Chains A and B, each alone.
Chain A
Amino acid sequence: MKFTLSWLKDHLDTDASLDEIVETMIKIGLEVEEVIDPAEALAPISVGYVKHAEKHPDADRLRVCKVDTKDGEMQIVCGAPNAREGIKVAYAPVGAYIPGIDTTLTKAKIRGVESLGMMCSSRELELGDDHDGIMELDGDAEVGTPLADLVGPLDPVIDFEVTPNRPDTNGVRAIARDLAAAGIGTLKPLEIPEVGSTFDQPVAVTTEAPEACPAFGAIVIRGVKNGPSPEWLQKRLTAIGLRPINMLVDVTNYLSYDAARPLHVYDIKKLNGGVHARMGREGERFEALNDKEYSVDETMCVIADDEKVLGLGGIMGGTSSGCDETTTDVLVESAYFDPLTIAKTGRKLGLTSDARYRFERGIDPASIEDGLQRAAKLILDTCGGEASTITVAGKPPVEEKVIDYPPTEVRRLTGMDVPESRQEEILSALGFEVSRGGSWSVRVPTWRPDVEGKADIAEEVARIHGLDKLPTEVLPRLGDAPRRNPSLSEARVAAAKQAMASLGLLEAVTWAFTDEVGAAHFAAQPKEIHLLNPISADLSVMRPTPLPNLLLAASKNAARGAESVRLFEVGGAYTDNTPKGQRTVATGLLWGAGPRDWRSSNAAPSVFDAKEMAIAVLEAIGAPADKLMVFSDEVQGYHPGRSGQLRLGPKNTLARFGELHPSVTKAYDLTGPVAVFEVELDKVPAPKNKSATKPALDLPELMPVRRDFAFLYPEDKPALDLIKAIQGSEKQLIDDVRLFDVYRGKGVPEGQRSLAIEVVLQPRSETLKDKDIEAVSAKIVAAAEKLGATLRG
């Protein structure tokens, strides 16, 4: 919302400076976004005198001028046709900022001739539209006089953010009222002119939609001569970014910004019969003032004459009944429209306007007749004519709102002590009517739809009194020594992140949404997880796993020349669109061998790197690593022969790991395997033992014994089965079973591999004798043979 300082002063009697006014607005909650002070822009500009002008030696259209300025004689090259000897000009020195061309002047050479500064046109200084030549100032003006002193009063423009709770501040008057309450001046009384009527309002005005349009007020002015509005009005509209059109239209815009009172004008000669507010009908269309055609329906409130739709009530009028220079008889509408209906209609049609903005936030329902009176007065003064009586169809929803307000409420909610007299003063200044007592009765002004209860009134008092007076207090301590006590899920996320970063991975944070094609590599996409209004097509669906986004990041890193990618993310993955459909997944991605090293081979990451990391993460978050089962079911998006799952029991998948399917890798322009893992943090059961006590330490006194075995084992049988069988063959003695080599080649038949396994035996009560070891070895070999393994000789 923009307004000018002089406009504000129509309503506020004040000597306060612009800075004071702006500071006070900020302090009371009217958040100023920008102040444009033309005087500031003009500050470097002063009067200069062209002592001498001659044609530029190398350019016909340029003149080289010697100019007397506050800085002495300056040589300025100028292209304006009127640059000539003997005139006073607007001189801008080197270093000055010229707003109209958005340039800061520097020393220049123009076709070889030095030029120091500039002589400005009014457009270059944003003082007008004239750009036919440079400004020619009053011949009597003294050289060096600031230009601001010559061009008359300059009106600063203030732009501030209207919060949705304060629809009244869409009008300058409400700003003045707030400022007056804050002590920055006195609110001038608003005189509502009594426009004498010379005839009865002749147009049949009705509202047939009492919910959408509870009240429709109208006045008719006959015999007007429409045309441009007066200069003061045009200046104000232009200053706040509106385009003056003609007096009848400009009056509606003016009051919309002056009093937050939207109005509309109809050319009576273009009407067929009466004017009616009613709901739209299927199939009806109209051309709006923005020259676009709109179809209406039965949820929208339209204004129609006896034949057709004229416009959308409270949003935008139509071209068919618009006022132009030929209009002689005008009907002014001042209505009240239901905010919800306006909001819905506006959204449905994608149609915004100043009227919609005001109606959907709520206008003062008591402003109908005042609005008509003020509009009529302005029209009569400028356009002549005679006014009718005022008619109001329906009844505006003016409700008597009286709130029971204990004056202690400010202290309760803010901790500030505001004396009762001061509270009353503030509320009265804001238009509230206060009856004091033990608990006060406070009557809310009709223009404040936001005030509903005592907290709202406390806020009014607090914001005007000043939040700078808030006390600074410390919350009382809860508990003995408060410290961080993370929940299980929080602790798991932290532990998983620590684990992965410790493994050398880099934490990425990527969008929770992804593109459909990427998502489809990994899961079917139910319609329900597609966004209705995505920010772009490639972020249109909630990610079923972070993998597509990490892949995209990997692809981009590779394209930038990264030799390897090692990323992880811990975040949401979405199965459906309910709060429960969100899983927390720790996902890692490895691609590329990374830098070569003289001490070790640098193989590309494989399924086993992924498996190792998945297990490390699971251990870090407290999963029972010794109970994990490995499955090799195919998972969408993964390489069918180089991927697996870690489960607790046959159904509860805690993690997936493996290399991605080559077709997926290829889709992201990555060559070579991409190893990934996904750990489902929520699937890990909560630890049962809550005690901080660790189990007793059991240190065997006897030395462990190690024995190596080599088995031929079929390729198609899982190695884990063999390891588990060996482990189970002698539970008392076998402490660990370690596979330390896998060999294929000479001496190993086709379809088999040689698995070298070290078994650690831990005697407990007495040293193992040869025969004990032989007995265990026999059990181990027997268990292995049962699975189809053969001991190598």
Chain B
Amino acid sequence: MTLEADILELENDLNAKISAAPDERALEDIRIAALGKKGVVSEKMKTLGKMSPEERQIAGPALNGLKNRIAEAIAKRKDVLEEAALARQLEAERVDVTLPVRAPGRGRLHPLTKVFNEVAEIFAAMGFEVREGPDIEDDFHNFTALNFPPEHPAREIHDTFFFPPREDGEKMVLRTHTSPVQVRTMMTEKPPIRIIAPGRTFRCDSDQTHTPMFHQVEGLVIDKSTHMGHLKGTLEAFCREFFGVKELETRFRPHFFPFTEPSAEMDVRYERDGAVVKIGQGDKWMEILGSGMVHPNVLKACGLDPDEYQGFAFGMGIDRLAMLKYGIPDLRGFFSGDQRWIEHYGFAPEEV
């Protein structure tokens, strides 16, 4: 047999095996059997050394050609096999993507937290900082320093919760308003003072529209020039921002609070559209908050000279603000801990 015929036969044989290789492992076996150290092609290559230069000149290129063609055939076959294997893998890995996954975290913050935050943000932009005070107060901070004389009927309006009398006869109280924080702030800080004080407040009252615990935010400005015009400008700006309205009509009505003089309640215009209350304009007035100029007796009780310092204070119900803005119909749901209520009226953490 001639060398040529020999190579041709070998090549045909190998090509047939390569084409028939069912997988990569079989192909690798073929590669080793052909091109490995002891493979048939490699063995043939070894014979080159024993040939004469003339023979080698012919056999050399022929055998190298064979080696390259076989290697190439193997590589091609490998590609085909790999592609097929990948296709099989992909098919095998197919899943039903309609299977449901768990709902994302459904944690919710209470609407009161949202409103506290909104109120604090709006007032912060007007230079107000937040101050806090304790829920349990003494008579001085809750009443006397705020110009509620002992036994004065104004105290009775507050339906105060009391604790048992101490040895000196004084009864601690659950604060009936956030105004004690005014006193605490004025007694420890120097004017100019510009603060809000949100927090829990308590009155011994419970019906459709009252709960024994509720929430207020107090505001206080003390300096040497702030007057009721500033009070009006500040509260109108707050309401426009809070309720997200451009136009807001307010009405200041004289009222009585022991700790302010002059005192006024602020009403805003509103209209009802089904269950939705639209604040800002309309044919009805809604009382939103109480306010006034800090009473000289309060300034004195806190160590400030009422002829030198002046300023305004206001207080409003946060629960009510939340109800109005977010269309929450009933106050009692606020404190029920009913998960359905919180999931419905609450806010995702990134919304607050």
> Which residues of chain A have a CB within 8 Å of any CB of chain B?
26-29, 31, 163-166, 339-340, 343-344, 347, 360-361, 411-416, 453, 455-456, 458-459, 462-463, 467-468, 470-475, 477-479, 482-487, 489-490, 494, 497-498, 500-513, 527-536, 539, 542, 549-550, 552-554, 556-557, 560, 562, 565-567, 571-572, 574, 577-582, 595, 597-599
Q: How far is the CB of A524 from chain B (nearest CB, A)?
A: 16
* Bound Cα distance A483, B150 (Å): 40
Q: How far is the CB of A407 from chain B (nearest CB, A)?
A: 15
Known: A470-B228, A474-B233. A165 touches B107 (CB 8 A): no
Tell me which residues across on chain A come within 8 A of B306, comparing CB atoms: 455
Asked whether, in the complex, the Cβ of A565 is within 8 Å of the Cβ of B339, the reply is yes
Tell me which residues across on chain B come within 8 A of A536, comparing CB atoms: 206
Known: A475-B127, A484-B124, A507-B108. A579 touches B137 (CB 8 A): yes
Main secondary structure of the interface of A (DSSP, over half): mixed
Given A479-B127, A542-B136, A553-B338: 5 more A-B contacts, CB < 8 Å:
A474-B234, A532-B171, A579-B137, A581-B136, A599-B102
Asked whether, in the complex, the Cβ of B338 is within 8 Å of the Cβ of A482, the reply is no
Shortest Cβ-Cβ A-B pairs, 6 listed: A553-B337, A29-B254, A415-B229, A163-B256, A579-B134, A459-B262
Contact of A31 among B107, B129, B253 (CB under 8 A): B253
- Using a CB-CB cutoff of 8 Å, which residues 101-157 of chain B contact chain A? 101-102, 105-110, 112-113, 117, 120-121, 124-130, 132-138, 150-154, 156-157
| Nearest B-chain residue to A459, judged by Cβ | B262
Known: A456-B261, A459-B263, A468-B252. A533 touches B113 (CB 8 A): no
Known: A28-B254, A459-B261. A475 touches B134 (CB 8 A): no
Tell me which residues across on chain A come within 8 A of B192, comparing CB atoms: 478
| Nearest B-chain residue to A26, judged by Cβ | B253
Asked whether, in the complex, the Cβ of A597 is within 8 Å of the Cβ of B232, the reply is no
B200 within 8 A of A: yes
Asked whether, in the complex, the Cβ of A483 is within 8 Å of the Cβ of B337, the reply is no
Asked whether, in the complex, the Cβ of A485 is within 8 Å of the Cβ of B107, the reply is no
Tell me which residues across on chain A come within 8 A of B264, comparing CB atoms: 467
B182 within 8 A of A: no
Contact of A474 among B100, B150, B237 (CB under 8 A): B237
Tell me which residues across on chain A come within 8 A of B233, comparing CB atoms: 472-475
Asked whether, in the complex, the Cβ of B261 is within 8 Å of the Cβ of A455, the reply is yes
Asked whether, in the complex, the Cβ of B230 is within 8 Å of the Cβ of A415, the reply is yes
Asked whether, in the complex, the Cβ of A502 is within 8 Å of the Cβ of B152, the reply is no
Tell me which residues across on chain B come within 8 A of A414, comparing CB atoms: 227-229, 262, 293
| Nearest B-chain residue to A415, judged by Cβ | B229
B47 within 8 A of A: no
Tell me the total A-B contact number using a CB cutoff of 8 A. 263
Tell me which residues across on chain A come within 8 A of B227, comparing CB atoms: 411-415, 473
* Bound Cα distance A567, B342 (Å): 10
Q: How far is the CB of B304 from chain A (nearest CB, A)?
A: 14
A-B contact pairs, 17 of them (CB 8 A): A414-B227, A414-B293, A455-B293, A473-B232, A475-B226, A501-B108, A501-B348, A501-B352, A505-B107, A506-B346, A533-B204, A552-B337, A556-B336, A557-B338, A567-B339, A567-B342, A599-B102
Tell me which residues across on chain A come within 8 A of B314, comparing CB atoms: none
Known: A502-B107, A507-B346, A579-B136. A549 touches B337 (CB 8 A): yes
| Nearest A-chain residue to B105, judged by Cβ | A504
Contact of B130 among A360, A487, A579 (CB under 8 A): A487
Tell me which residues across on chain B come within 8 A of A595, comparing CB atoms: 102
| Nearest B-chain residue to A574, judged by Cβ | B136
Tell me which residues across on chain A come within 8 A of B261, comparing CB atoms: 455-456, 458-459
B9 within 8 A of A: no
Binds A, one of B11-19, B73-81, B85-93, B160-168: B160-168
Q: How far is the CB of A290 from chain B (nearest CB, A)?
A: 20
Tell me which residues across on chain A come within 8 A of B272, comparing CB atoms: none
Contact digits for B162-193, partner A, Cβ 8 Å, 1 yes 0 no? 11101000011010000000000000000010
Asked whether, in the complex, the Cβ of B124 is within 8 Å of the Cβ of A462, the reply is no
Most B Cβ at <10 Å: residue of A506, A552, A556, A581: A506
Tell me which residues across on chain B come within 8 A of A487, comparing CB atoms: 129-130, 132
* Bound Cα distance A28, B262 (Å): 12
| Nearest B-chain residue to A481, judged by Cβ | B125
Contact of A413 among B234, B262, B265 (CB under 8 A): B262
Q: How far is the CB of A477 from chain B (nearest CB, A)?
A: 6
* Bound Cα distance A536, B212 (Å): 10
B99 within 8 A of A: yes
Known: A462-B262, A467-B264, A539-B212. A509 touches B334 (CB 8 A): yes
Asked whether, in the complex, the Cβ of A578 is within 8 Å of the Cβ of B136, the reply is yes
Q: How far is the CB of B203 from chain A (nearest CB, A)?
A: 9
Q: How far is the CB of A174 from chain B (nearest CB, A)?
A: 14
Asked whether, in the complex, the Cβ of A535 is within 8 Å of the Cβ of B229, the reply is no
B271 within 8 A of A: no
B245 within 8 A of A: no
* Bound Cα distance A31, B265 (Å): 10
Q: How far is the CB of B176 from chain A (nearest CB, A)?
A: 13
* Bound Cα distance A758, B179 (Å): 57
